Amino acid sequence: MSALKPAASIVAAPAKLAQQLGIQFQNPQLLDMAVRHRSAGNCNNERLEFLGDAILNLVIADRLYALHSAASEGELSRWRASLVREESLARIARSINLGDYLVLGSGELKSGGFRRDSILADALEAAIGAVYLDQGFEAAKAVLGRLFEPLLANLPDAASLKDPKTRLQEWLQAERRDLPTYEVTGTWGQAHQQVFEVTCRLPDRSAETVGRGSSRRKAEQSAAERMLARLTGAAEPLDGAVE
């Protein structure tokens, strides 16, 4: 039995998660640690998450490089970013019911932290870090290959993955216009559910748009998407449509 004391009851034992990952851990405590969120105490998955993130980026870069020999550096980078972003990791985490294994503090448990994208994504990275420490790089690479196979087989067109700020910048440069500025014009909500408001302005003051999101980056992207839509005559996205 693990020496780690859970902060809240676990819905499913980590041993079942190991089976889903296809790994028989020599040191099961590594996986026990991987599913412990920082709200559960000082013994948590943050260090394993750090390690897993590095392994994840290397493995995905390696797979993309091998699968798409004619792709440019920019295309490979956009594909990798789409695969390792929080939303993609959370989707994979849900496919293996990772939320069922999370150990959370009482506050996160009550607020539904086991469903939150950020917590699920971090736990998936931590699990990969645990596999690496227990079984080595090749085992971690094999697990990631199985988990990401459906996404790697159905990649979107790389050009469609350019973020709104990049697309807005390219449009303005093609029109020989100055680039916009972004300013945080409001924040509200509790720390774990904060909302940011950002205003995007053109230097000539001919237009400005407001975007909102759960981080400054997401709010900037939302504002940029609205600005691009306004400049090109397209329909502006609804609130929350751009993250």
* Residue 243 maps to a domain: no
Active site residue 117: no
Count of helix runs (H) and strand runs (E) in the chain: 10, 3
Q: What is the structure's pLDDT at 242? A: 42
Residue 11: what pLDDT? Answer: 55
Whether 114 and 48 map to the same domain: the answer is: yes
At residue 33's C-alpha, the angle toward residues 31 and 37, to 5°, is: 120
Q: Which residues contact 152 (CB under 8 A, 6 or more apart)?
A: 63, 64, 67, 83
CA-to-CA distance for 80 and 210, rounded, in angstroms?
Answer: 29
The answer as to whether 9 is a domain residue is no
- Residue ranges in the chain modelled with pLDDT below 70: 1-12, 192, 234-243
pLDDT of residue 110: 78
Residue 241 lies in a domain: no
Question: At residue 108, what is the residue type?
Answer: E
Same domain, 146 and 172: no
Residues 100 and 209 in one domain: no
Q: What pLDDT is recorded for position 5?
A: 47
Q: How many domains does the chain have?
A: 2
Q: Which residue range(s) make up the domain with 169?
A: 162-232
Residue where one domain finishes, among candidates 154, 186, 211: 154
Q: Both 167 and 149 in a single domain? A: no
Same domain for 107 and 219, yes or no, is: no
Same domain for 38 and 110, yes or no, is: yes
What is the rounded CA–CA span in Å between residue 179 and residue 97? Answer: 44
* In a shared domain, residues 169 and 124: no
Within this chain, do residues 99 and 196 fall inside the same structural domain, yes or no?
no
Q: Does any domain span residue 146?
A: yes
Q: What is the CATH number of the domain that holds 130?
A: 1.10.1520.10
pTM of the predicted model, to two decimals?
Answer: 0.70
Note whether 215 and 104 are same-domain residues.
no
Closest CA to 197 of 208, 187, 207: 187
List, for residues 53-65, the tens digit of each pLDDT value.
999 999 999 999 9
Residue 239 lies in a domain: no
| Strands annotated E in the chain | 181-188, 195-201, 208-213
Among candidate residues 32, 49, 53, 134, the one labeled active-site is 53
- The first and second tokens of residue 72, run together, are 């440019």
My answer on whether 174 and 97 are in the same domain is no
169 and 80 within one domain: no
Residue 55 domain flag: yes
DSSP-derived letter for residue 36 is B
125 is catalytic: yes
Looking up residue 197, the CATH number of its domain turns out to be 3.30.160.20
SS3 assignment, position 103: strand
Q: Is residue 196 part of a domain?
A: yes
Domain match, 129 and 223 both: no
Tokens of 230: 């306004």
In a domain, 4, yes or no: no
Q: Which two tokens stand for residue 235?
A: 């329909």
Query: What was the pLDDT predicted at 9?
Result: 47
Supply 51's token pair: 């390690």
Query: Which member of 32, 125, 134, 197 is catalytic?
Result: 125
